Amino acid sequence: MEHKPPVWADRFFAWFCAPHLLHDLQGDLHERFYERLRDNGARSARFHFVLDVFSFFRPYILRRRKYGVSQVPSRMLFGHYLKSAVRSMKRDKQFLVVNTFGLALGIGCSLLLIAYVYTELSYDRYVDDSSLVYRVSCSTVIDTKETQFAPIPPAVGLALKEALPEIKDMARFMTWSYTTGNSSVSYQDKSFYQQNIFIADSTIFKVITFRFLAGNAAALHQPDRVVLSHTLATKIFGPDYLRRSDLLQTMIRIDKQEFAVGGVVDDIPYSSHWRPEAMVGWQGRGNDNVWDDSHAYTYIRVNAGTDPHTLQKRIGDFIDANENIKKVAEAFGAKVSVFIQPLTDIHLHSDKMYELSPGGSAGYIYAFSVLALFFLFSSGINYTNLAIAASAHRFKEIGVRKVIGALRHQIQKQFMIEAVLITFIAAAIGAGIFYLLIPRFNQLMEYKLDMSIFRQGEFLMTATGVVVTLSLLSGFYPAFYLSWINPIQILKSKFSGGPGKAHFRKTLLMTQFAISAIMIVAVLVVSAQMRYLSQKDLGFNKENVMIITIPDAYMKDLLVLKEKLLAVTGVSGAAVCDYVPGYSDMVDEHYVERANGEMKSSTVSRLHFDKDYLRVLGLEVIQGRNFDPTNEADYKAAYLVNEAAVKAYGWDKTPQGALGRKIEGFNYGKKGQVIGVVKDVNLFSLKQKVAPLVMGLTPYGSFLYVKTDGEHPKEMVSRIEKTYKAVMGNEPLTYQFLDERLMRLYESDQKMNAALVSGSQVLIFISCLGLFGLSAFMVTQRTKEIGVRKVLGASLREIMVLLTRDYVRLIVIANVVAIPLGYLLMQQWLKSYAYRVDLSWWMALVPVCLTVLLALLSISFQVARASRANPVRTLRYE
């Protein structure tokens, strides 16, 4: 016969047709084909054959892949799989414990990191319709140098609200205390210092979401009312304050001003960039006509559907056309712009002057996400390797299953079910580990996580997704590997462990140790840099300097206190300054005379201190003279500058030099001349190079620097406290130490370091756990080989080398790949510092030695057992 049905259509039919229907149906199709061939010719027959094939593409014909012919429905098998999973777990407890624990540790740690990342990303999303809320901030550009400010002049917000109808509500607030942020709150005879007190527009409740526990949003309309947070109210009135019937008339004092409680709001969630503890009304305190001083944090809520780009453009046009802004810009010689930023972007993507809280860092979000992935990856690899290792005992089981008629996909399903089961047990334990780790994490990271995060739907979904994905991925390879086993070989005992080379498993192991090596490199570099920061000579004296915060209300007693403290034993000096490192950047507009004599404005850091400051910190005047407190003119018209300023303004290139140059402080209205140059020191963060700095003389400042001899610090503090209380009428003493304060500048990196150290320990532990299990497998596989070698005269040492050589080689290769990668990564991080530690070559050796050593340690137990075993026994193995 010449003509045959089209082969492709025939094959296609055979592929999609259910096996029990295929035989006779295919016969029918062929019969029809040949009949047509006879009657109508080849073309028609072929055409109709294809048509027939496609007309059979119907649900009842289609092959059901899951259910073959005469198979027990998998619903019934499911129970059986569970049972055999439980039995095999019971039989092999070591595997169960090692594997579940490894997985649980990985899941627990990564959940913790995911919770952190989730919290960071959910900042300020508690606000109703947070996508409609924007913060208005501003920037000045002077000589191409741009400075961005989080707050804006209070008049700007008001003008914008009037001019632009798409702004539904506008609210401004500013800090109550300008200097230290500390204000005294008192009620009856109770008194304490409180941070985060704000003066706010009454519209604030329309822009930012607050939940009132007592009183209502009208409270801020009256100037003599205060709205308290739940925490502060509890602190003042005790836990049962809501039951007090007279709560809303109760008077409290803030910095000696009387207020009636106008309302209590529920605490703002931890993930908020602004966390007010008390708010008082703007009316009568804020100044609505100020155009030139940025101190009002301004937030707007826009109408739904407003396009931010259009709004930004409209605001830009309005600002450009505004007469008042023009005047200010002219006075500063600056280009002023005002822009909006989404509320939810502030925490992670905004780093302006005078931010309300130190923002999170997108970089750390990435770093922590990667770390979480590392954890999952490492524990997943563990599971895969261990599951295969442990299945050595189960080859016979699989063989018998296959002989009885189990299909490949059924074996796969069985092992996937086991993987899912173990992962979910591990996830439950992991949640427990999460719970146990929270306090430690919060302490390390100075964060506030708690179990309530599990009530957040999105987080719960992410967590479940992670666990399911992990179980599928880690169960995937063992399931496929085991389902390929040839039953004949197994049952004839010829088979002892699948494809002998096990490239895949070795790659997994290498990946695991490469991750560990990268972590070790990261830890080394970060801690080396931290050590460098704490040991670097900053050019001034930072040891044994205690900084006392002076409350605004007691400023007048400052000089008396200073006198009295100098008389205390062990105190060798005291100085007043308006700055502590990290408190806030003292940046201000100044008119500065340039090299050519022209006066131009410049945004520079400034300090105000008294005559003793330079001596107490050991700063050197290298040109000109220090301030002279007896000279009245020095208070009003004298400036010191640092070397960086001399260079920045080009004074060093002129014969006239720095001395006598004119400087005007814009905001504090001081016109003066440079009387001296101070040697460059790193008063600010080492992330930046030493920047230009102007310094003025003042008798008063919010911080008193006390230099002590450093002996018996505890007694020293109590002596100082006694003197302080005697002078300040029993006010509590708030103090800190300069060197600690300086290290606080690198707080986020220190937290990172702490997290890295703990994280890498756990990661390495998980890897070693996996190696421990794997070595047990390897040793059982090679029992006979070892026996034969021993009989033939191999020494104990030779056998141990034989057994460990492979692993050591793998780990060294992993290190060779990982270390350069780790260093490249960390070099990027180091770039965020202007001053950084030199990395030395021995740092590359540490991860190699450490991982090899730990790996040897974890396999040594199994290796020792195997190489000591009596060959007579092992050769009798069968």
Q: Is 187 one of the binding residues for another protein (CB under 8 A)?
A: no
Alpha-carbon distances of 582 from 128, 585, 695, 738, rounded to whole Å: 33, 7, 17, 11
Candidate ranges 24-32, 397-405, 723-731, 753-761; the one touching another protein (CB under 8 A): 24-32
> What number of CA atoms fall less than 13 Å from residue 133's CA on the CB side?
22
Q: Is 394 one of the binding residues for another protein (CB under 8 A)?
A: no
Percentages helix, strand, coil for the chain (3-state, rounded to 5) are 55, 15, 30
Measured CA to CA, the distance from residue 146 to residue 264 in angstroms comes to 40
Distance of closest approach, residue 71 Cβ to another protein, in angstroms: 19
Distance of closest approach, residue 123 Cβ to another protein, in angstroms: 58
Distance of closest approach, residue 73 Cβ to another protein, in angstroms: 17
Candidate ranges 50-58, 192-200, 243-251, 588-596; the one touching another protein (CB under 8 A): 50-58
Question: What are residue 638's DSSP bridge partners?
Answer: 673
CB nearer to another protein: pick between 25 and 794: 25
Single residue of 2, 7, 15, 24 touching another protein by CB under 8 A: 24
Candidate ranges 27-35, 116-124, 445-453, 729-737; the one touching another protein (CB under 8 A): 27-35
Distance of closest approach, residue 43 Cβ to another protein, in angstroms: 19
Candidate ranges 55-63, 417-425, 663-671, 813-821; the one touching another protein (CB under 8 A): 55-63
DSSP SS3 for 336: strand
Q: Is 19 one of the binding residues for another protein (CB under 8 A)?
A: no
Question: What are residue 170's DSSP bridge partners?
Answer: 300
Q: Is 632 one of the binding residues for another protein (CB under 8 A)?
A: no
Please work out the total of residues on this chain that contact another protein, with binding judged by CB under 8 A. 18
Compute, in degrees rounded to 10, the torsion defined by CA atoms 211, 216, 217, 220.
-120
Q: Is 12 one of the binding residues for another protein (CB under 8 A)?
A: no
Single residue of 23, 66, 221, 722 touching another protein by CB under 8 A: 23
Measured CA to CA, the distance from residue 637 to residue 697 in angstroms comes to 9
CB nearer to another protein: pick between 25 and 331: 25
Q: Is 15 one of the binding residues for another protein (CB under 8 A)?
A: no
Phi, psi of 793 (to 5 degrees): 110, 15
Single residue of 27, 41, 439, 499 touching another protein by CB under 8 A: 27
Q: Is 39 one of the binding residues for another protein (CB under 8 A)?
A: no
CB nearer to another protein: pick between 5 and 157: 5
DSSP SS3 for 687: coil
DSSP SS3 for 72: coil
- For residue 353, the 8-state DSSP code is B
Single residue of 30, 326, 394, 744 touching another protein by CB under 8 A: 30
Distance of closest approach, residue 68 Cβ to another protein, in angstroms: 18
Residue 774: other Cβ atoms inside 10 A: 24
Q: Which residue has the tokens 């050019």?
A: 539
CB nearer to another protein: pick between 31 and 798: 31
Do 271 and 124 form a contact (C-beta atoms < 8 A)? yes
Measured CA to CA, the distance from residue 709 to residue 569 in angstroms comes to 9
Do 782 and 866 form a contact (C-beta atoms < 8 A)? yes
Q: Is 56 one of the binding residues for another protein (CB under 8 A)?
A: yes
Distance of closest approach, residue 52 Cβ to another protein, in angstroms: 6
DSSP string, 795-845: -HHHHHHHHHHHHHHHHHHHHHHHHHHHHHHHHHHHTT-SS-PPP-THHHH
Q: Is 781 one of the binding residues for another protein (CB under 8 A)?
A: no
Single residue of 60, 841, 842, 877 touching another protein by CB under 8 A: 60
Candidate ranges 49-57, 348-356, 656-664, 702-710; the one touching another protein (CB under 8 A): 49-57
- For residue 19, the 8-state DSSP code is H
CB nearer to another protein: pick between 32 and 564: 32
What H or E segment, with its residue span, contains residue 239? none
CB nearer to another protein: pick between 12 and 192: 12
DSSP SS3 for 606: strand
DSSP SS3 for 298: strand
Q: Is 58 one of the binding residues for another protein (CB under 8 A)?
A: yes
Region 61-90 residues binding another protein, contact defined as CB under 8 A: 61
Q: 90: buried, middle or exposed (CB in 10 Å: 19+, 13-18, 0-12)?
A: exposed
CB nearer to another protein: pick between 35 and 320: 35
Distance of closest approach, residue 41 Cβ to another protein, in angstroms: 16
Phi, psi of 639 (to 5 degrees): -130, 145
Distance of closest approach, residue 25 Cβ to another protein, in angstroms: 7
Largest CA distance in the chain: 126
Measured CA to CA, the distance from residue 172 to residue 153 in angstroms comes to 10
Measured CA to CA, the distance from residue 95 to residue 430 in angstroms comes to 17
Single residue of 55, 257, 464, 489 touching another protein by CB under 8 A: 55
Single residue of 3, 8, 19, 35 touching another protein by CB under 8 A: 35
Single residue of 26, 511, 654, 860 touching another protein by CB under 8 A: 26
Q: Is 2 one of the binding residues for another protein (CB under 8 A)?
A: no
Q: Please report, as ranges, the residues that interact with another protein according to CB under 8 A.
A: 21, 23-28, 30-32, 34-35, 52, 55-56, 58, 60-61
